[in-house]
A and B are shown apart, each in its own frame.
Chain A
C-alpha cells in the first residue's frame, strides 16, 4: 500500500521534472530569442510532463485494479501444484477403503434401480393415466429408494471426510508439506468459503486485518503469498516509474522548433474531457445492466410470468416465501404500486404545477427587484428541507387534519396515512423545483418579445399569457417533467405519510404504497439475495428506471418540437 503511494509521489515528481525538462529544451531550441518556436516553451513543458505522467499513472491504476487478482491466481496455481500428490494419495486411499467403496457401489445400484422404476412409471402412466393406483404405488417405492440413496450418500461423504481428516492429521503431526495441506483443504472447501480462506491467509501475511483462524496451513499459505505479492508490487512500481522515464525521454526527443506542442496538449486535454463524460455514461450502463440481470433472476424465479408482474393486481411479496403456498403466483402483481405511484404523483403535481408556475410568473414578471431579492431565496429554502422533515409534517400535521376534515364531512373510513396527505406535502416539496426552473426559463424569454406585445397595446397579463408563456413553454414542460420524475422517485414522505398497504384504489383518502416505498421495504434489514421477494425489488427498480426514461424522452421530444430560436 505504502509502496504504491511512494510510486505515485515519485510519478508526480517525474511529471514536474518532465515539465521543466521540456521547457528548458524548448528554450534551448529557441536560442536567445533568435528562432520563433511554433508553441510557447510552457506547452513543450506540458507535453513532456503529460507523456511522463499519464502512462505511469495509467499503469499504476491498472496495477491497483488487477494486482490482487494476479496474486490470487499465482498463489492458487502454486498451491494446486503442491497439493496434487496429496490429492492423488487421498484418492488412492479412498479406493482402498472398503466402507467408502461399499457406499459407492450401493449408490450406483440404487441409481439404476430408481431409473428403472422411473421407466416403469412412464409406461404405466402411458397406459393407465397419472391417477391410477399403480402409479401411486410406484411413487411410494421411488420415495423409499430415494431415502436409501440419500443415506448411502451420507455414509460416503462422512467416510471421505474421515479419510481426509486422518491424512491431514498424520501430516500435521509430522509437520510436513504444509502448503500442500493448505491446497488440499482449500480444494475441499465449498466455493463460498474459499474467499474467506484466502482473506485469512492475507490477514496472516500482512497483519493489517485480524484473521478469523490461525492454522499451520494458513501460515504456510501466507508465507507463499507474501513474496509473490511483494514481488508484484515492486514490479508494478518499477514498471510504472520505468514507463514514465521512457515517456519523458521519448517526448523530449520529439521537441523541435516547428513541433506543435500546443496542438498536442489541446488534443490530450480534449481526450481527458471525453474520458470524464465516458465515465458518466459507463456508470449509467453499469446501473442498467445490474438492474437488468437482477431483474432477469427475479423473472426466472417466478417462471417468466412477466405479465403477472406487470399486470397482476395483487401485491403481497411477504407470503411467497414457501413454495406451493396459496396465492403465491398472484402475489407479485405490481399494478397497485404503479397505481399508488401515479395517484400520489398526480396529487403532488396538482399542487406543485399551478402554485409553482404562478409563483414563477409573479417573481419574474410582477415582483419588483426588492421583493424578488428575498422571496426567491426564501422559496428555494423549501427545496433544502430534508424530505424526512416533510414526512413528519405530513404524518403529524397534514394527515390528522385531513382525516378529521374527512370525518367531519361524513366520510367514515378516513385514515391518517393517506395518499392525499402524502401527495399534498410532496407537492409543496416540489414547488421550488417548478418555480425556480420556470422562473429561469421565463427570464430567458427575450425582452424584445415583451416589448413587441406591449407595443401592440397588450396588457401585462395578456403579454404573459399570449407571448411569454408560449415562448417559455418548452422550458416549462421540461421543468414540470423534471418535477414528475422527482415525485415518482420520492420515497421518504410516502413511507411516512401514505402507509404501506398495497391497495388498488383511486380514492385519495385511502392508504397506498408506491414503487420506491416497496423497494425500500424489500431491501432494508437482513435479506437473502436469492428469494423472489428480495429480487422483485430489482424488477421494480427496472420499471421505475424505464418509466423515468420514457418521461425524459417525452420531455426531450416536447422541448425539441416547440423549441424557439432566440439568439
Chain B
C-alpha cells in the first residue's frame, strides 16, 4: 500500500484490480469535454461493466454528470459543448458521425435529478418511447409494454387503476419511478441516473434504491450520487471524480474501505466536498 498516500497533484487515475466478473459494457477512453473554452473533463478512461451498478461520486462540479451525459450524447443538445475521445458501447463507437444520437438514446436511457414526467397521462408517459420508436405494433402490445415497465419500476400496483391521470399528479417518489418505467419501456441496455434520489424523502429513496438493485439483473446502470452511503449501498463499482479528473476507480468495497488516493480518502471521510 505504498501508493495509498499518493500526492494530490497526481493526475493519473488509480485503478483498483478488477473484481467484476461481468463483461464490459461501456468502454471510455481519453474522454475530454469542453464547454466553450473551459475544459470540464480531462482524459477519462474507464470500463463500465454490464449487469452491475457503477456509482460516480465526487464534489459538485467535478464532472461526473458531464461524463454521464457523454454516454448518451446528451451533451449534443448544449450548443457550446464539445466532446473528444472515444466511448464504445458493445465495441461500437458512439461518437462516430454515423451514429444517430436519437437512436443511441433509445439504447441508453436516462433518469434525471428532478422527476420530469411529461405533461401527459401516466399511461402516455410510459407509452411515449415505444410509440416514437415504433416498438409496439398494436394497442394490446403497447398495453403489455406499459404494464411490464410499470411492474419492473415497482409502480404498477399503485397506479393500475388510474393510468389516465396526469403523470404529475403522483408523489415525488412515484414520479421518479414513473420516469424510470418510461426509460425501461424502450428496452435500453444502459440506464444512466443523475442523482435520482436527491429530490426525494428517505422512504422514497429507499424504494428507488431497492428498484436499482432489482434492475441490476438486466441492465448496466450508472448512477451519479452525492450520497456516499447510497453509493456504498447500491453500487458494485465506484468512480471518484475530482476537478474534471477521474481520480480513482474500483470495486465499491475497495474504494470505501481502502482508498488509495488522498483525495478519495478525504472525500469519503468527509474532509472536503
Contact = CB atoms under 8 A, between A and B. Distances in A.
Interface in A436-462: 446, 448-459, 462
A470 interface: yes
B172 to A, nearest CB: 11
The main secondary structure of chain A at its interface with chain B is helix
A135 interface: no
B118 interface: yes
B132 A456 contact: yes
B55 interface: no
Interface residues of B, number: 29
B66 interface: no
Interface in A404-460: 446, 448-459
Nearest to B72: A455
B189 to A, nearest CB: 13
Given A452-B116, A564-B119, A462 B77 contact: no
Given A451-B74, A564-B168, A457 B119 contact: no
A467 B104 CA distance: 20
Contact of A454 (B74, B166, B179): B74
Nearest to A469: B119
A564 B114 CA distance: 15
B155 interface: no
Contacts of A451: 74, 77, 110, 112, 116
Contacts of B102: 457-459
A466 interface: yes
A455 B186 contact: no
Contacts of A453: 118, 128
A368 B110 CA distance: 26
Interface string A20-63: 00000000000000000000000000000000000000000000
Looking at A369, A452, A456, the one whose CB has the most chain B CB atoms below 10 A away is: A456
Contact of B118 (A368, A454, A457, A470): A470
Interface string B157-195: 000000000101000000000010011001000000000
Nearest to A448: B116
Interface of A: 368-369, 446, 448-459, 462, 466-467, 470-471, 473, 564-565
Given A457-B104, A457-B129, 5 more contacts: A369-B79, A451-B77, A452-B179, A453-B128, A564-B168
Interface of B: 72, 74, 77, 79, 102-106, 109-110, 112-114, 116-120, 128-129, 132-133, 166, 168, 179, 182-183, 186
11 contacts: A368-B79, A369-B79, A449-B116, A451-B110, A455-B112, A456-B182, A456-B183, A458-B102, A466-B120, A467-B118, A467-B119
